[in-house]
Amino acid sequence: MSDDIEIGHEIPPLEIVVSGDDVRRYATVAQMPGQRFVSDEVARKEGLPGRILPGNMSMALLSRMLTEWLPEARLERLGVTFRGIVQPGKPLRCSGFVVDRREIADGVELECDVILEQGGERRTTGVAVLQLR
Amino acid sequence: MSDTLPFGIDQSLIGSEFDSSTSEPVTAEDIHEYAASLGETYAGYFGANPIAPPTFCMKFRGNRFSHPSIPADAFRRGFDAGKDIHFGVPIRPGDVVHTSNTLHEVYEKTGRSGSMVFVVSRQRMTNQRGETVATIDNRFMLRPKADA
């Protein structure tokens, strides 16, 4: 499998719509008590257009994309920058591609750029490193 | 060279621990619920003896997320700018996660919209065997008061 993955390889994208209930459920199990994640009213008082996804959830969805692509790989590193808010109820798209491939002692290490977009804008960008043995 | 960082933070505080905590034992249900909340389908996250999705470690934030020397109102003028996680061994049912939070870095940048201060808190997480579970650098962007 890893022999097929070269620099430039595109990660199969994850395209989903996260509902307000999905966010509530994640915020509960991930112990993120912020009301801006579950209440439009509170979010608007904070100057937001309505409730938003926690940044951690955006990061976790990028991780889900990577697991669905290479379930046998070990995620070594995931680093992201939150560039804009992500809202429930609107389509979002996680994608990425391989930017480097390194041989390691007993396998291969893949470095990937990863992106979460909504409304055609990059809301979260980052880098992931996976190891395949 | 100045020994004082933005917000008047003393340079000597860099690297100092400001919080530590120890979790309750993780259950298989905790892992199932977390994975299900993200729509995960990987079989290894479910069943009687699952491993946790890598980002499960973000649940363990401790009792406070910033060093007490940073004014609390600064966070009301800022936002979560990003994270960098280096993953260690997977979390499994029965694991107890110990988290230590330190002030890792404070630096200033000037952009088109003015001065911004970045505060990086580092969380080191280990399990009951002393193995590293994850190291998370949490990066917050704060704006000094307009009249500061």
Complex ipTM value: 0.95
Helix axes A55-69, A20-29, angle to 10 degrees: 90
What's residue B20's pLDDT?
A: 95
Q: Is the pLDDT of residue A1 over 70?
A: no
Domain that holds residue A110: 2-18+54-132
In tens, the pLDDT along B22-73 reads 999 999 999 999 999 999 999 999 999 999 999 999 999 888 878 888 877 7
pLDDT the model gives residue B146: 60
Residue A61 lies in a domain: yes
* A67 is a domain residue: yes
* Contact (CB<8Å) B30/A67: no
Q: Check CB contact of A48 with chain B, cutoff 8 Å.
A: no
Q: Give the integer Cα–Cα distance in Å for A52 and A63.
A: 19
Quick one: pLDDT at residue B82? 96
Number of domain units in chain A = 1
- Count of pairs with CB atoms under 8 A, one residue in A, one in B: 76
Tell the residue number behind the tokens 């046998």, with chain if given. A72
Q: Per the CB < 8 Å rule, is A60 touching B81? A: no
Interface test with B, best of A14, A16, A18, A29 (most B CBs within 10 A): A29
The 10s digit of each residue's pLDDT in B105-116 is 999 888 787 888
Q: How confident is the model at residue B148 (pLDDT cuts 50, 70, 90)?
A: very low
Going from the N-terminus, what domains does chain B have, and what CATH number goes with each?
4-25+62-142 (3.10.129.10)
- pLDDT at position B133 is 98
CATH of the domain at A96: 3.10.129.10
Distance CA B88, CA A85 (A): 29
Q: Is there a domain that residue A43 lies in?
A: no
Mean pLDDT of A102-111: 95
Q: Would you say B104 and B98 are in contact if contact means Cβ atoms under 8 Å apart?
A: no
Note whether residue A108 is domain-resident: yes
Residue A86 lies in a domain: yes
In a domain, A40, yes or no: no
Beta carbons of A75 and B54 less than 8 Å apart: yes
Interface test with B, best of A78, A116, A124 (most B CBs within 10 A): A78
In-domain check, residue A23? no
pLDDT the model gives residue B2: 55
Binary contact (A31, B59; C-beta < 8 A): yes
In a domain, residue A84? The reply is: yes
Structure tokens at B17: 């621990």
CA–CA separation, B44 vs B17, rounded Å?
35
